[in-house]
C-alpha cells in the first residue's frame, strides 16, 4: 500500500524520518529508516536520506511495509560465557556467530535474548531491543563485551567509550605481512553508498583511529594486535583492508576461507574504570580454539 502526503507549512524544515514517525507512530525509528534506505520512500519522486529537510509543497510517497516481529523474549539456549558480574555490570565473552541484539535480519536467538534469560535487570537506555548494550561486536567477531545492568553504569561506560578511557584490544590474523612492525591507521569511515552492508574509507565520514602491533609473522599471514582509539562499525576489518591485508576469513572485506565460519578477529582484552568504585579493572580471555588451531598451522611456515 502506498500512502501520499504533502508537506504543509507546519512541516517545513522537519527531517523526513521525523515527519514519517509523526504520520506512523506505530512504527519505530529504525523501521522508518529502513524503509527510506530501501528506497520505499520518495520525496517529489526522488530517493533521499532520512535526515533530509522538507520543503513546502513537496510530495512524499511511502510504500508501507509492516515491521516484522522481533523477539525480546528470554532464551536459555543461547550460549556465552560470563567472565565477571556484579550489581552494575557484566563482562561477557561472546562466541563467533552470535548476533548481539535482535534486528530485522536476526529476530531472536541473540546475545540479548540470552542475557535476558540469565540476568534479572539490564539497563533500559537502549530500549527493549538492546537492553544493557553499551558497545557491540560483529556477528563473526568473538570476545569481550561489557554490558550495563543499570542506567547509572550505562551512562558512565558509554562516556568512557566516547572519551577513549575504555580500552579495547583485539587479536587478528591477517593476510600477508605488514611492512611495519607497528603503526597507526587514521581514516574517515562511512557506510558505503553502493553496498549498505559495507563501510568504506570516505573523506566525508567520521574519524577512525586504530593502532596496531605485529606479534608474529608467518609466510603468508601475520598475527596482529589492534587497539581501538575510536569505535566505528567494522573499524578493524575496514582498516585491515585499507592496509591491503584483510582479516583472514573475512567474507565481506576479504575472502572466504574453507573451514572457517568467519573472520579470525577476537576481542581479547578490555579495561575501564568501574562506574561505582572508580578503580580501573581489566579482563582478558584467550582466543577461541578454532583460531588458535589455525594459527598453529601457520607456525610451520615462520618468516
Q: Which residues are catalytic?
A: 138
Cβ within 8 Å of residue 68, ≥6 positions away: 104, 107
Using CB atoms within 10 A of its CB, is residue 107 exposed (0-12), middle (13-18) or buried (19+)? Answer: middle
Distance (Å, whole) CA 281 – CA 274: 6
Q: Using DSSP, state whether 18 is helix, strand or coil.
A: helix
Q: Using DSSP, state whether 81 is helix, strand or coil.
A: strand
Amino acid at each position: 500500500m502506498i500512502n501520499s502526503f504533502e508537506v504543509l507549512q507546519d512541516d517545513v524544515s522537519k527531517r523526513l524520518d521525523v515527519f514519517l514517525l509523526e504520520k506512523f507512530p506505530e512504527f519505530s525509528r529504525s523501521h522508518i529508516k529502513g524503509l527510506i534506505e530501501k528506497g520505499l520512500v520518495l520525496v517529489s519522486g526522488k530517493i533521499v536520506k532520512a535526515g533530509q529537510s522538507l520543503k513546502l509543497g513537496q510530495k512524499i510517497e511511502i510504500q508501507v511495509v509492516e515491521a516484522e516481529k522481533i523477539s525480546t523474549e528470554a532464551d536459555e539456549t543461547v550460549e556465552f560465557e560470563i567472565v565477571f558480574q556484579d550489581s552494575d555490570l557484566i563482562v561477557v565473552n561472546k562466541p563467533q556467530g552470535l548476533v548481539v541484539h535482535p534486528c530485522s535480519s536476526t529476530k531472536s536467538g541473540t546475545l540479548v535474548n540470552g542475557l535476558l534469560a540469565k540476568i534479572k535487570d539490564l539497563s533500559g537506555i537502549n530500549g527493549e531491543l538492546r537492553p544493557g548494550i553499551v558497545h557491540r561486536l560483529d556477528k563473526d567477531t568473538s570476545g569481550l563485551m561489557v554490558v550495563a545492568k543499570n542506567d547509572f553504569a550505562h551512562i558512565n561506560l558509554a562516556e568512557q567509550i566516547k572519551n577513549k578511557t575504555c580500552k579495547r584490544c583485539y587479536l587478528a590474523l591477517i593476510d600477508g605481512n605488514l611492512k611495519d612492525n607497528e603503526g597507526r591507521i587514521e581514516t574517515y569511515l562511512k557506510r558505503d553508498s553502493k553496498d549498505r552492508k559495507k563501510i568504506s574509507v570516505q573523506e566525508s565520514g567520521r574519524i577512525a583511529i586504530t593502532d596496531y602491533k605485529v606479534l608474529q609473522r608467518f609466510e603468508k599471514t601475520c598475527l596482529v594486535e589492534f587497539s581501538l582509539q575510536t569505535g566505528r562499525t567494522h573499524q578493524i576489518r575496514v582498516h585491515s583492508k585499507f592496509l591491503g591485508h584483510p582479516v583472514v576469513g573475512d567474507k565481506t572485506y576479504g575472502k572466504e576461507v574453507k573451514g572457517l565460519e568467519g573472520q579470525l578477529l577476537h576481542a581479547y582484552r578490555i579495561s575501564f574504570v568501574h562506574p561505582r568504585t572508580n578503580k580501573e579493572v581489566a579482563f582478558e580471555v584467550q582466543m577461541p580454539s578454532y583460531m588458535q588451531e589455525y594459527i598453529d598451522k601457520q607456525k610451520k611456515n615462520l618468516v
